[in-house]
Structure 1
Amino acid sequence: MHKATGVFDILTTSTDNPKILDFCVAPGGYLETSMWHDPRAQATAFSLGTDQGGHEILMPPNPRIAVKFMDITMLAADMGVDTIPAGHPDFANFPPRELAPNRFFDLVICDGQVLRTNVHARAEYRESREATRLTLTQLALGLDHLTPGGTMVVLLHHMETWGTLCLMRKMHQFASVQLFKHPKCHAKRSAFYMIATKVNARCPQATDAIEEWKGIWKVATFGSEEAYRDVMHASDAEVHSLLKDFGPRLVENARPIWVIQAKALEKASFVKGASRGWGPS
């Protein structure tokens, strides 16, 4: 990834000891690589504990890395919620604020995914909303605590979905955006990385994005099914507006990602020999 995008340049060009925030560190490959690029770096990392179904951290201990084991989707205080509604299924599970308002980081890594291994640890209301809650937590807090001019690495899925399209259009408003997909690792899957550099994290567009993401997270965490459907729904007019304004740039940015996935799918065992028409092969 670094060879293709220069994602870790933000660390080596910093005059002070660069700071890294990794929201879902386990097993630790990206953070370990980041620290290798600049041994001066200091990192704050979060990970779901193995007792909650999280992955084991495989990188060796490092005194410059502070790891906190917790479910980041429950950081209500950090997301702007000070009072938890009585009777909420997770009433007792929201921790105090973790990241002080004046803590900022040069590199923020947002590559968490919902794990099937911790289904038993989640309240029922979260099942259909967990991916949204996890993504929004990382985006909102990551941008909120990013040093102006810093870099964000964000794992995304399904380029064509509404949420992904909206996110990429927003990021283009206040950052230089590159997309990356490894030609071999997980090439058949929809996953890819968005690398946002030179992020103007204090401009009005960034501030609006943070507030919007926090607002949707609040609905996904405390709202009714109807409220959640409404906040996630896009009107025809909104879709047409996005495609008109951002469609050409989307295709330009996305084409290399789609090409990698298409080539990998052509060679996939479950595709070889399959009919390419409507009738029998």
Structure 2
Amino acid sequence: MHSRAEYRERRKAWRLLTSQLVLALEQTRVDGRIDVLLHKVDAWGTVELLHTLSKSSLLQLFKLEKKHIKSSFYAVAERVQPHKVDALQAVVTWKELHIANFGSGKEYYENGLNRDVDDVLSSFGTKLIHLGRLN
């Protein structure tokens, strides 16, 4: 049996998530809703994803009962504006990232999620803290 390269295996879940988000944003109507199960609110990829969703929707985070996996939570994006520039750019970025996922590690990081931490935290950090406390 043919095995996948290790770097591809590590990115499989992220590929699936971004593919689902592309489909969701492309199919969601104005003022629609997207629910997504995420893990580790403080992981960089999750922070960037929440930041992106917050630009074109009203974002809330919810944690289920104690039987749920400790690090997992639901992000609920309501009143989604899929035609806003930020949402359209997210779709383009996620599609490019999806393609980059099949390349080498270098290609992935050159084309992938590489925003400056200071920029994201200065524009989204306070809201992230507020959202995370509710989680």
* TM-score, with length taken from structure 1: 0.45
Deviations 1:186-238 (A, max 9, x none): 15x211000011101112111111111111001103x2221113334636xx1
| 1:254 CA displacement | 0.5
Give the letter for the 1:145 counterpart: Q
C-alpha separation in 2, matches of 1:179 and 1:211: 25
The structure that has the greater radius of gyration is 1
- In proportion to residue count, which structure has more helix? 2
Aligned to 1:108: none
| 1:135 CA displacement | 0.9
Does the alignment pair 1:226 with 2:106? yes
C-alpha separation in 2, matches of 1:204 and 1:225: 29
C-alpha separation in 2, matches of 1:233 and 1:142: 19
Aligned to 1:239: 117
Mapping of 1:131-146 within 5 angstroms?
131-146=13-28
Deviations 1:111-169 (A, max 9, x none): xxxxxxxxx8x850331210110111011111111111111000111111111111111
Aligned to 2:134: 256
C-alpha separation in 2, matches of 1:190 and 1:231: 28
Root-mean-square deviation (CA, aligned residues, Å) is: 1.8
C-alpha separation in 2, matches of 1:250 and 1:146: 24
C-alpha separation in 1, matches of 2:105 and 2:59: 34
> What secondary structure is seen at the aligned counterpart in 2 of 1:124?
coil
Unaligned runs of 5+ in 1: 1-119, 258-281
C-alpha separation in 2, matches of 1:123 and 1:202: 40
Identity of aligned residues (%): 32
| 1:185 CA displacement | 2.6
Ranges of 4+ aligned residues in structure 1 off by more than 6 Å = none
Distance 1:233 1:174, change over 3 A: closer
Unaligned runs of 5+ in 2: none
